[in-house]
């Protein structure tokens, strides 16, 4: 699914909870509102030697938490910030809406963490419920690889910041919204430095089993939606330079400029 850019006029709260519809609106209290879908998303399936490296680049779900068998799942997703918002803008509000469509646990905390390295999507596509993933294909993100099977993560399970960008208590099936000042800082940094935009890792409860939550991806009918409020920078006006007037030359008349000796003693008038 491609990034959607459609403008509508609304207040912020309805926009957040209607974000899954993909609408966007301009001008909120002097700012602009834009809603965008992920440019890529995937799941990191904990590596099990007998199963090999697994991924789900083109699947309609991503996962976070622990399975009933005790294996970890972590979601990853990224958004094209620099391609959607004018350079130099100031981000004032950020919220991420995701649809949780299946769960095998009670309410659990699901966190967002800023990813520290780039990662990919290949052509893997898991079957049925997608919880086990599919064999990884070239350039897929996996538990061990940023890009299967040539570039590895520094840490198994993904390279991500220890700082929690946002957290939400996820319970029953439905829409959930993450929003925080740290998410604003994350998106601002991605706008100012697009080469460092690797998105977020979706981290579920990994302290016990089962805790896994299934969220719908950009390929689904209810994709994640990132709602951003921003203000564009105001260009500094260029001062107008007033040209300096050129003085008008005064004509010089030789006869008028030379003194005369008439009626003066001892003076020889050379210009009678």
pLDDT band at 250 (very low <50, low <70, confident <90, very high): low
Query: What average pLDDT does the segment 46-62 reach?
Result: 98
pTM attached to this predicted model: 0.78
* Mean confidence (pLDDT) of the chain: 86
Residue pair 62/77 in contact by the 8 Å Cβ criterion: yes
* Residue 62, helix vs strand vs coil: strand
Q: What is the pLDDT of residues 63-106, one digit of tens each?
A: 999 999 999 999 999 999 999 999 999 999 999 999 999 999 99
* pLDDT score recorded for residue 235: 74
Q: What is the pLDDT of residues 122-175, one digit of tens each?
A: 999 998 889 999 999 999 999 999 999 999 999 999 999 999 999 999 999 999
Q: List the one residue out of 75, 196, 160 whose CA is nearest residue 188.
A: 196
- Name the token pair of 141: 């993100």
| All residues at 6 or more sequence positions from 69 whose CB lies less than 8 Å from its CB, including other chains | 209
| All residues at 6 or more sequence positions from 178 whose CB lies less than 8 Å from its CB, including other chains | 95, 96, 98, 112, 165, 166, 167, 168
């Amino acid at each position: 699914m491609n990034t959607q850019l459609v403008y509508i006029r609304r207040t912020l709260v309805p926009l957040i909870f209607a974000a899954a519809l993909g609408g966007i609106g301009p001008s909120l209290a002097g700012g602009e509102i834009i809603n965008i879908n992920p440019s890529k998303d995937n799941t990191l399936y904990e590596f099990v030697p007998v199963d090999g490296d697994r991924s789900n680049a083109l699947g309609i779900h991503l996962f976070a938490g622990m399975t009933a068998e005790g294996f970890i799942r972590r979601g990853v997703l990224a958004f094209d910030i620099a391609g959607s918002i004018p350079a130099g803008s100031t981000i004032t509000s950020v919220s991420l809406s995701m649809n949780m469509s299946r769960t095998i646990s009670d309410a659990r905390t699901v966190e967002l963490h800023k990813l520290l390295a780039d990662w990919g999507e290949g052509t893997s596509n898991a079957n049925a419920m997608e919880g086990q993933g599919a064999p990884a294909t070239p350039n897929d993100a996996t538990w061990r690889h940023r890009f299967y099977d040539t570039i590895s993560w520094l840490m198994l399970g993904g390279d991500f910041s220890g700082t929690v960008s946002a957290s939400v208590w996820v319970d029953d099936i439905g829409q959930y919204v993450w929003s925080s000042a740290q998410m604003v800082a994350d998106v601002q940094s991605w706008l100012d430095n697009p080469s460092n935009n690797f998105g977020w890792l979706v981290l579920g409860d990994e302290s016990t089993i089962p805790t896994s939550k299934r969220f719908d991806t950009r390929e689904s009918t209810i994709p994640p939606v990132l709602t951003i409020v921003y203000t564009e920078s105001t260009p500094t006006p260029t001062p107008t330079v007033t040209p300096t007037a050129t003085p008008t030359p005064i004509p010089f008349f030789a006869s008028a400029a030379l003194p005369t000796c008439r009626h003066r003693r001892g003076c020889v008038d050379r210009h009678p």
